[in-house]
Amino acid sequence: MTDRMNVESFNLDHRAVRAPYVRIADRKQLTGGDVLTKIDVRFTQPNTAHLESETVHSLEHLMAELLRNHTDAVIDVSPMGCRTGFYALLLGEVTTEDFAPLLEATLRDVLDATEVPAANEVQCGWGAHHTLEGAQAAAREFLAQRDQWLEVFPADN
């Protein structure tokens, strides 16, 4: 890999990272002066493990809804196509240290949830494709490794 690509994650050596982690994937200053921060929330080790499709879908709904209860800076929460994590897009120069407590509170809310928000045919394009239990299991596992979130690259790399 010698040429720099337009997509930030395509320039990341996915073999060098150690999930779970939270890292700043990109930051852009808009022409009006606002700053957007894209955060990589990696649940599973790339090319080794992935989240099941229904789990990803349910976590997307839960995190997109519940993260907004903790900050007004959320623009979007989107799953990665590889199903190893999510991107959170926020307004402002957010750091991982700022974001981690918001994510932790959100995932604790996921554990307390009694249903997946908008998991129906009216509000979702595949309303039956959800698992609250799977989302909660993934959130529980990610939270159990909270002390590792800010270490993206292992010390031995």
pLDDT tens for 21-59 read 999 999 999 999 999 999 999 999 999 999 999 999 999
Q: For residue range 86-130, what is the model confidence (pLDDT) as tens digits?
A: 999 999 999 999 999 999 999 999 999 999 999 999 999 999 999
33 CA to centre of own chain? 25
The partner residues of 38 in beta bridges, in order of sequence, read 26, 89
Q: Are the beta carbons of 15 and 47 closer than 8 angstroms?
A: yes
Query: Cα dihedral angle (136, 49, 84, 125), rounded to 10 degrees?
Result: -70
Q: How far does the chain reach from its first CA to its final CA, in angstroms?
A: 18
Q: What is the pTM of this model?
A: 0.95
Ordered by where they begin, the domains of the chain are 14-147 (3.30.1360.80)
Residue type, 81: G
